[in-house]
Structure formats: C-alpha cells, structure tokens
Amino acid sequence: MAVSHLQCKECKAEYPLEALYVCERCFGPLEVAYDHSRLTTGAHSAKPWVGGGARGDTDELRRRIQAGPQNIWRYADFLPLPGGPPGPSGRLASRAGLPAGCTPLIRADRLAQQLGLREVWVKNDAANPTHSFKDRVVSVAAARARELGYQTIACASTGNLANSVAAHGAALGLESYVFIPADLEEQKVLATGVYGTKLVAVEGNYDDVNRLCTELCAEREWAFVNVNLRPYYAEGSKTLAFEIAEQLGFELPDRVIAPIASGSLFTKIGRGFAQWRELGLLDGELPRMNGAQAEGCSPVASAFAAGQDVCRPVKPDTIAKSLAIGNPADGPYALELARQSGGGIDSVSDEEIREGIALLAQTTGVFTETAGGVTTAVLAKLAQRGDIDPEERVVIAITGDGLKTLDAVRGTFQTHTIEPTVASFEAGVPEAVAV
C-alpha cells in the first residue's frame, strides 16, 4: 500500500504506523504520510501510476478507482491501511462493517437560483449508515484498530461520532465506549444507546469530554478513534473530496463550503483535492475553501476576521452542538487553508442557522441538522455579500441529518388543525380555497 509512516505536521519528525498522535519532540500533531510512487498499474505490475505523469497511467488509475466497491474502499490506495485491505480495490474491507461513503451529490438548481448563482451542488453525507460523515472517519479508524489488535473502540463526541462509533462497534463485534456532553440532543443520545454501547454522559462541554478521553487513553488499551488513532481517523474525511471530484467527472469545483468544528474535516477535504491533483487525477486550480461556524462557538472565524493565526479558546453557546468545540485542534491549519486557497471562514447566528435549515429543505428537499444549517447560511451570506462569482461551481458539504436535531426546527412552521369536513378545511386553510 502507499501509506509510508506518520509525520509531525510541524517539525516533520517521522514515526512508525502505530497508535500515536502527538510528536515527542515538539508536541505537534501527527499525520499519515504516503509514497504514491509505489502504486502500480496492477497487483503484479511494476509499472508506476505516475512515473513521468503519463496520461495513460492516469486514465488507468481512474479506471481502477471506478472499478472499486461502492463505498470509501474504492479509494483504498489513498487510505492508511498498511496491512490491507488486500487486492487493488479493497475488496475484503468493503465487506466488513458498515459501508460508508458514495453519498449523493445533488445539483441544487432552485437553491442556486434563489441565491443568484449559476451552479450549486449539495454533497449530502446524511445518506451514510448513521446519517453523518462520521461513518467515513470511523470506518478507517476501526479498520486500523483491528489491524493493531484492539478489541475496544472509544471516542469523545458531540453526537454524530457517538452514533458512528457505537454502530461500527456493533457491526464489527468490538466493544465500545462513547463519551458525550451531558446536555447533548436527545435524538443523538437515543441513536447511540440503541447499539448497545457503553454510553457515558459527562457534566461539561466537548472540550471537557475530550480532555477526559485523552487522560483515559494513557490508562487503557482502547482505540480512541479521535485521540490515539486520530491520524488514521482524520484521513477518512479525504474521501469526501475524492467523491466530489469523481461525481463531477474528475473535475474540481471552484469553491467548497464546509463546517468547521475541530477543523479536521475542512483541512482534509482540501488535502484530498490537492493529493489527487498532485497525482495528475485532477487538473486546474484547487477550489477556494470556505469554512462555516456558529457565532456561539466561532474561534476559527474570529481568528480569521482578526487576521490572527491562533484560535483563542471559547466557551460554546449555540444550537449547533455538533460544531461546539471551543478549542479546535486543527484550527490553525483551517486558517492556513482558507487564506492560501483564497477562501474564508464566516460565522452565523442561531437564527441564521434555523433559516439555513429551512432554505436548504425548501429548495432541495434535503433536511439537515444544525451543522448543515450553518453551512447553508454561510453560503447565503457569501452570495449576498457578492463574494461568490455567479459563474462559479460551488459545492456545500451537508454533514448530518435533520432528524438528529429536531428541536432546532420546532415552532418554525404552522400546522393547520381542522375537522374532517370540506367546510372546516376551507375555513382553516383559506389560502387553499379554489377561486
């Protein structure tokens, strides 16, 4: 496989492919490094994919991807599984656990028209098995956990990750522990406990939960997917970029708008596009990357507006609980990506989040959770401000299902209650009376 080693994002120190996540020299975060020169045109061929950048090699690699399973393992060559999955298309891994990925990319013409734009696409990751993009990252982390011999997976979560870890643990026969803030939305709690996980509600916010899990990680032989397995876990988010590009006919969008919590999803989407461009699978300029945060928890957006490089921690206070990370680990890298790509990072109020949920639902038929409301509201803000060229091809990432945050839309629409008669209908719903 192409995965090579772990590498510090700051000092570039190299480490073996083990359950490590922080550099011993500078305490910087570790990430997965690859050597794609090892990729070959077939399981038994020595011909390199990209040696000299030949078009034939690129076309062959595209065909290999397209022949893969209908889930994220079609991109196995770009994921950190050194011991597998065996075969050119990850055939065995594609049959284990829950099949994440290959979610719809929907052309949203009515949404684009309402905002005065030419072309908007909605990448609807609510179509994953547990209805959020977290199934991508957990699929990779769980596969790596099994390779490393772990029998228990665990996580600190604001909800969606809890759902996914519990479900993947059940599907793979792994014991699981899920740590969540005690004030999490009831829908997400119910959708986690049903899988038989050990559910632990912590009195505190996500940053308190994450701190506890970091301490437990040093005490127990557990695979905390977003702590000691974080380098592998984070790589799963790249598959969003791979799918978007493939679904657009191996073309790059002009702009991508995605939510920012820790900043990992945002930066890995950017890395996915860049990786395929480096390999010759994509041509043209990389997309402008726009991040979206809620005003009640917007350390990255605030740093961007102030021209700073460091995100000052904040105490979350927003309905967008899945984005409520007051001290984002990848915040500085999200800032760097937004600036280098010519994009930006904006925040929106809770009322704008509700309006974003309604806007998306009423123009596309996609019901998103609060994080998607943040993303859609930022799209509307950028369009209204004139920051988006009307001719751009824009993709927005919808990362979770609206059924997970039902309280956010409570009281936002009217229900007409009538007697079972025509007269009552005409009296109770006068706008529906025929002229």
Confidence (pLDDT) at 52: 39
Token duo for residue 75: 């991109």
- At 361-383, the pLDDT tens digits run 999 999 999 999 999 999 999 99
Q: What's the pTM value of the predicted model, to 2 decimals?
A: 0.92
Helices 264-278 and 331-341, axial angle in degrees (round to 10)? 50
Domain boundary among 178, 206, 235: 235
Burial pattern 133-162, b for ≥16 Cβ within 10 A else e, equals bbbbbbbbbbbbbbbeebebbbbbbbbbbb
281, 62 contact by CB (below 8 A) = yes
Provide the residue range defining the domain that includes 328.
Answer: 105-130+237-409
Domain boundary among 184, 216, 235: 235
24 domain-assigned: no
Residue spans of alpha helices (H) in 148-196: 160-172, 186-193
List Cα–Cα distances, 315 to 205, 208, 296, in angstroms: 8, 11, 8
From the CB of residue 207, how many other CB atoms can be counted at a distance below 10 Å? 19
Confidence (pLDDT) at 88: 44
Q: Are residues 349 and 267 in the same domain?
A: yes
34, 242 contact by CB (below 8 A) = no
Confidence (pLDDT) at 325: 95
Residue 216 has pLDDT above 60, yes or no: yes
Token duo for residue 247: 């679904």
Q: What is the mean pLDDT of residues 336-356?
A: 98
The 8-class DSSP code of residue 311 comes to P
Give me the chain's average pLDDT, please. 92
Distance (Å, whole) CA 138 – CA 330: 18
Confidence (pLDDT) at 15: 97
Confidence (pLDDT) at 431: 85
- Name which of 277, 318, 269, 270 is nearest 298 in CA terms: 318
- Name which of 114, 111, 115 is nearest 384 in CA terms: 115
Confidence (pLDDT) at 55: 56
Confidence (pLDDT) at 92: 54
Q: Are residues 262 and 292 in the same domain?
A: yes
Q: Are residues 167 and 187 in the same domain?
A: yes
Q: Are residues 123 and 138 in the same domain?
A: no
Q: What percent of the chain has pLDDT over 90?
A: 88
- At 18-28, the pLDDT tens digits run 999 999 999 99
Residue 53 has pLDDT above 50, yes or no: no
Residue 104 has pLDDT above 90, yes or no: yes
From the CB of residue 80, how many other CB atoms can be counted at a distance below 10 Å? 27
Q: Are residues 197 and 319 in the same domain?
A: no
Residue 334 has pLDDT above 60, yes or no: yes
32 domain-assigned: no
Confidence (pLDDT) at 33: 96
Torsion sign, CA atoms 181, 182, 183, 184: positive
Strand-pair partners of 106 = 122
Distance (Å, whole) CA 320 – CA 81: 33
Token duo for residue 101: 């990925």
Query: How many independent structural domains does the chain possess?
Result: 2
- At 293-331, the pLDDT tens digits run 999 999 999 999 999 998 999 999 999 999 999 999 999
282 domain-assigned: yes
From the CB of residue 90, how many other CB atoms can be counted at a distance below 10 Å? 24
Q: What is the mean pLDDT of residues 202-215?
A: 96
Torsion sign, CA atoms 293, 295, 300, 306: positive
Distance (Å, whole) CA 27 – CA 8: 8
Confidence (pLDDT) at 430: 86
Q: How confident is the model at residue 36 (pLDDT cuts 50, 70, 90)?
A: confident
251, 219 contact by CB (below 8 A) = no
Residue 85 has pLDDT above 90, yes or no: no
**Which 3 state secondary structure label does DSSP give 255?**
strand
Q: How confident is the model at residue 276 (pLDDT cuts 50, 70, 90)?
A: very high
- At 167-194, the pLDDT tens digits run 999 999 999 999 999 999 999 999 999 9
Confidence (pLDDT) at 370: 98
CATH number of the domain at 342, please.
3.40.50.1100
Distance (Å, whole) CA 214 – CA 372: 28
Q: Are residues 178 and 230 in the same domain?
A: yes
Q: Burial of 10 by CB count in 10 Å (0-12 exposed, 13-18 middle, 19+ buried)?
A: middle
- Name which of 237, 234, 355, 375 is nearest 293 in CA terms: 375
424 domain-assigned: no
In this structure, which amino acid lies at residue 81? L
Q: What percent of the chain has pLDDT over 70?
A: 91
- At 117-168, the pLDDT tens digits run 999 999 999 999 999 999 999 999 999 999 999 999 999 999 999 999 999 9
